[in-house]
Structure 1
Amino acid sequence: MKPTQFYPVIQTPDVGATARFYQTNFGFSPVFTSDWYIHLQSDTDPGVNLAILDGSHETIPEGARGTTCHMLLNFEVEDARAEYDRLSALGLEVVKPLCDEDFGQRHFILKDPNGVLIDVITPIAPSPAFAAQYNAEALPG
């Protein structure tokens, strides 16, 4: 397989509200809009995409309609602290406050209107123990 694009699709009962959440708070704009599906693209990077799908739509196999699996979306940003301040001030539900992790991340986690977890991350230098687990070319910080 040679993928030409990869993006997550969030199943939800409220396509419009979910799309607006990502447009308002994360800088996405719609590139396709229907009543059951909205395809969003980052305003700053056209390679970053997210789709919102009505969870009861007939394109979803019957046994999976309306179901939600646990999902975590990672947004890597230049300054997680600044995003934490901005998104917290907007009243978004933060479920893990901003912190530095020994494995090489400064991050926080919040929830979207569907309960999907959103991890906002800035890579930082890991502790020596975790640094030893990275390939040299992938070592952050």
Structure 2
Amino acid sequence: MKTISIIAFSLMIGLANAQTPNKMKMNAGIITEKLQETKEFYTSILGFGVSFENEFYLLMHTPDESAEISFLLPNHPSQKPVFQTSFNGKGVYLTIEVDNVDKVYEQIKNKGVAIEVEIRDEPWGDRHFAVIDPNGIGIDIVTYTIPEN
């Protein structure tokens, strides 16, 4: 009976673990001197909210709070060397998926933001446009559509 109980318990644990995968959430971080300019851009242009902020760190979330991005001042004494060097403005882009890219395009254009890539359809199914944030990061704003055949 003891053996059957151990087997049953082991099966229950195995099933519970199989149904509960390891949860993982990612937050990209950018090291920049431009915390205030970044906060202004992401809140007023993209509608992001502030999750947390102090004198050297800014954590922001998308309007629906489904994703976050953080910004950190360089060379802050509380941080280890790996988190101190400023982003050089090249080699990073963000993609923001929206329900209606045409509406977002008009809203951003009406706010006087320079459009880096005009709105367009791609054969692989993107309808998108791009802007650049105060740190030089390209932001691709997209609605996915059915790809052309």
- Both structures adopt the same fold (TM-score exceeding 0.5): yes
Shift of 1:61: 2.1
* Alpha-carbon offset, residue 62 of structure 1: 5.8
Q: Which is greater in Rg?
A: 2
Which of 71, 78, 81 aligns to 1:52? It is 71
Structure 2 Cα separation of the partners of residues 95 and 81 of structure 1 = 15
Task: Give the distance between the partners of 1:53 and 1:32, measured in 2 at CA.
Answer: 12
Q: What TM-score do the two structures reach when normalised by structure 1?
A: 0.80
Find the counterpart in structure 2 of residue 99 from structure 1. 120
Q: How does 1:1-141 map to 2 (within 5 A)?
A: 2=22, 4-44=24-64, 46-58=65-77, 59=79, 61=81, 65-68=85-88, 69-128=90-149
**1:38–1:94 Cα change, 3 Å:** same
Number of residue pairs matched? 127
Tell me which protein shows more helix as a share of its residues. 2
Structure 2-normalised TM-score? 0.76
Over 3 Å counting, the alpha-carbon distance change for 1:85 and 1:122 in structure 2 is same
**Separation (CA, whole Å) in 1 of partners of 2:99 and 2:30:** 25
Q: How far apart, in 2, do the equivalents of 1:62 and 1:125 lie?
A: 41
* Contact map agreement 1:15 1:35 (CA 8 A) in 2: no
Kindly, what percent of the aligned residue pairs are identical?
25
Please state how far the C-alpha of 1:51 moved relative to its aligned partner. 0.8
* Contact preservation (8 Å) 2:31, 2:83: no
Specify the SS of the correspondent of 1:55.
Answer: coil
What is the SS of the residue equivalent to 2:43?
A: helix
1:94 aligned counterpart, secondary structure: coil
1:30 Cα deviation from its structure 2 partner: 1.2
